[in-house]
Structure formats: structure tokens, C-alpha cells
Structure 1
Amino acid sequence: MKKVILYIHGKDGSHLEAKQYKKNCLGFDLVGVEYDDYLPWVAQKKFKSVYETVFERYDCVYLIANSIGAYLAMHALQDFDIAKALFISPVLDMERLILDMMSWANVSEEDLREKGEISTEFGETLSWKYLCFVRENHVIWNVYTEILCAENDNLVSRQTINQFIGAHNANLTVMENGEHWFHTDEQLAFLDSWMEKAIR
């Protein structure tokens, strides 16, 4: 059986990150998906095109997605045949995240509706169009999913993770003292160990 993993990076990431995970994915080919537009209606076209290309050549498709890549992947690929998904620090509820960011920036829905877009001090641009799209396009995710999150994730709350776990066929692993971005030697070693087990 020919098996492949699609890797979808997070914001400001790269498809080349897939190379660092190759050692954890024995028996699989690994395809990093390159994209630089984080609007779901744009990313969807790219992800579907890549999936359709690999599905012609492989018998089994797994998915690894990081941060916002998880939300974008769930939105784009929810109707496709994926055997298993592995999510790293995933954004699982985009509406909740947008509302949280609006709260951090002290922006009301009325403000955002009126202005359309509002830049924040923490580097994100809030978009009324994006919020409306998320509310109007619910994700239905039926893929068995292994999730790795960090105890000190400052972007995605444990409540959001737990709600997702409770409503989906998913298993959660938590790294104590970890952060949303797994980047230290200790964090990456933990991630590698988790990935090896989750792939099996």
C-alpha cells in the first residue's frame, strides 16, 4: 500500500518544515503544501488541488497540520478521504479565536462591521468578512484525529480543545510547560516522540 502524508504549516511557516518530520513517518511519503494566503476560501483551492493530485498516486492519505493550518485543512478537506489527522497546537474553533482577538484589541462587532478591517497592536488584522465567512461555513470533521497541544498555549484555550475532543473522534496529548509554537529542543523532542506514536 502506498501511503502519503500531507503537511500543512501554520502562519509564517513553510512547506519545507515537512522535511524535519520525515524521520517520524516511516513508511510514508511526505508532501509539504506551500501556501501564503490564510483566507480559507483561497487556501481551500490550493489544498484541494494538492489532495486530488496525491490521491491519484496513493492508496492512503494522512494529514499533519499546524496551528491555523489545522483549521484551514479541516475547512478545505472535510469531504475528502483522510485516514487519520495529526494536529499540532491546532486552531479548532476559528470563530472563538477571532472573538478572543477582538476582545484583546478592545474591538466590538459593531466597530468591525463598520470598518471592515482593523489592525491590532499584536500584528493581526481583524476582518468582518473573515468572521462572517467562518460563521456561515461550519466545519464538519469526521476524521480520527490525534492532537498535540501545550499547557501554556496562549492562542488556543484548553476549553476550546476539550470541547472539540468531546464532540469528535479525537485523542489529546498535552506537553507540560510547552508553548503554542514548539521550537525548543525539549519541545521538538516531545513532538517527535508524540508523532511517531500517533502515526502508528
Structure 2
Amino acid sequence: MQILYVHGKSGSAGESEHYKPLFPNDEVIGLDYHTFSPWEAGVEIRAAVDELARKHEDICLIANSIGAFFSMNAGLDGLIQKAYFISPIVDMEKLIMDMMKWANVTEAELEAREIIHTEFGEDLSWEYLSYVRSHPIKWNVPTQILYGEKDQLTSLATIKDFAEKHHAGLTVMENGEHWFHTEEQMAFLDDWIRRENTEC
């Protein structure tokens, strides 16, 4: 089994090292993608999976945060056997609309200006919002989701709705955050993968 790790924002392929002890019988590699829109990053991820598929019969995906969203825009149905999503962004339109509220930006303003810089460091893009609206997620890969109860980017209701619609398993860490990074959170993540990795 080949394990592919796709990092989130400000992450790196090097994070894949953490997962190697959890899959001692499998090869684990990380993907350093270089584009940050779903239409571009999706192409990079698909190319990486196509390359792996030429050498490996079974591929398992681990994707973090926006890396999961990009992966779901990569057309991977039928190419990977299982996915683990950690704090995935599953409703990008809602997240963008939330960020627009935080920045006090209307749709008309965003459409007129095309890109708006915000005080909280995220650029709002009309092209990005338009793409998300015209490309709803299509995902038919057996998936397990790990979600932190205090995730500020995705609500519990949103993640539950996604899990139900896509028949995904959902594990919620009490007091967990969007970014799993503390010793306690990483121990919870490791235990979750060990419980769920019977097929990988």
C-alpha cells in the first residue's frame, strides 16, 4: 500500500514523516504542491496520484485541512482506496462567505474589485468563489474524518452534513482545534489512525 500525504496551509511534505511509524508496512510520502487554488492544486495532486497508480495497486490518502479540499477537486474517485481527512475544509463556499462577513465585504464589492486583501491575512477572490460555486465537490472514496470540537473554520453541523452525504466515518475530539499540534491532540490523532487503518 502506498500512502500519500497532502498538507494544509503553511504545511509541508515533511509532515509525512510523522505518519511513517503508523504505517510500518507501507511507504509514506508527502506531496509538496506549489499552487494554491483548487483548479491548480487539484491538477498537481491528480498528477501525483496518477504517477503512483502506475507503480502501486493500492493508494491511501491522508489530507489535512485545505489539502483535503484540494484533493477532492483532483478527480481521484477510483484511483485511491481510502482517505483520512484531518480537519478538512468541506464547504469552501460557506467558509469564503464567513470570511466576507468577518471582513465586512459584500458580493458586489468582491465581484467589482475581484481580489480584496483582509486584515486577518486572507485574500478574498471572486474567481475563487465563482469556481467553488460552479464545481461542487464530487467525492466517492471511503473516508474517515478527524474533527476538532473547537474548529473555527468548519462547524460541527457542516462536517456532520458532509460525512452523512458522503458516507464518511466521523471522529470528533473534545476540545480539539482545527490545527492538531499539541501533544494531546497528536496522540489522539495517532490513536485514531491506528484504530482506522485496518485496510491501509
1:42 matched residue in structure 2 = 40
CA distance in 2, matches of 1:13, 1:79: 25
Listed as ranges, the gaps of 5+ residues in structure 1 are: none
Find out whether 1:28 has 2:21 as its counterpart.
Answer: no
CA distance in 2, matches of 1:80, 1:119: 38
2:180 matched residue in structure 1 = 182
Alignment check: 8 A CA contact 2:110 2:124 kept: yes
The CA deviation at 1:26 is 2.7
TM alignment of 1:13-162, pairs within 5 A: 13-162=11-160
1:5 matched residue in structure 2 = 3
CA distance in 2, matches of 1:180, 1:13: 13
Counterpart of 2:37 in structure 1: which amino acid?
L
1:166 matched residue in structure 2 = 164
Counterpart of 2:145 in structure 1: which amino acid?
I
CA distance in 2, matches of 1:177, 1:141: 28
CA distance in 2, matches of 1:160, 1:91: 10
CA distance in 2, matches of 1:50, 1:138: 22
Worse-matched range after superposition: 24-33 or 77-86: 77-86
CA distance in 2, matches of 1:141, 1:94: 14
Residues 119-169 of structure 1 show CA distances to partners (whole Å, capped at 9, x for unaligned) of 111110000000001111122111111000001101111111011012012
CA distance in 1, matches of 2:34, 2:105: 26
Paired residues in the alignment total: 198
The CA deviation at 1:42 is 1.1
Counterpart of 1:93 in structure 2: which amino acid?
D
Counterpart of 1:55 in structure 2: which amino acid?
A
RMSD: 1.0
- TM-score normalised to the size of structure 2? 0.96
After superposing on structure 2, the runs of 4+ consecutive aligned residues of structure 1 that deviate more than 2 Å are 77-80
Alignment check: 8 A CA contact 2:77 2:141 kept: no
Worse-matched range after superposition: 100-109 or 75-84: 75-84
Alignment check: 8 A CA contact 2:49 2:79 kept: no
CA distance in 2, matches of 1:68, 1:80: 21
CA distance in 1, matches of 2:107, 2:76: 28
Q: 1:153 to 1:76 in 2, by over 3 A?
A: same
Worse-matched range after superposition: 46-55 or 10-19: 46-55
The CA deviation at 1:35 is 1.3
Counterpart of 1:177 in structure 2: which amino acid?
N
Give the 3-state SS of the residue equivalent to 1:76 in structure 2. Answer: coil
Counterpart of 1:137 in structure 2: which amino acid?
H
Give the 3-state SS of the residue equivalent to 2:28 in structure 1. Answer: strand
Worse-matched range after superposition: 9-18 or 31-40: 31-40
CA distance in 2, matches of 1:4, 1:178: 28
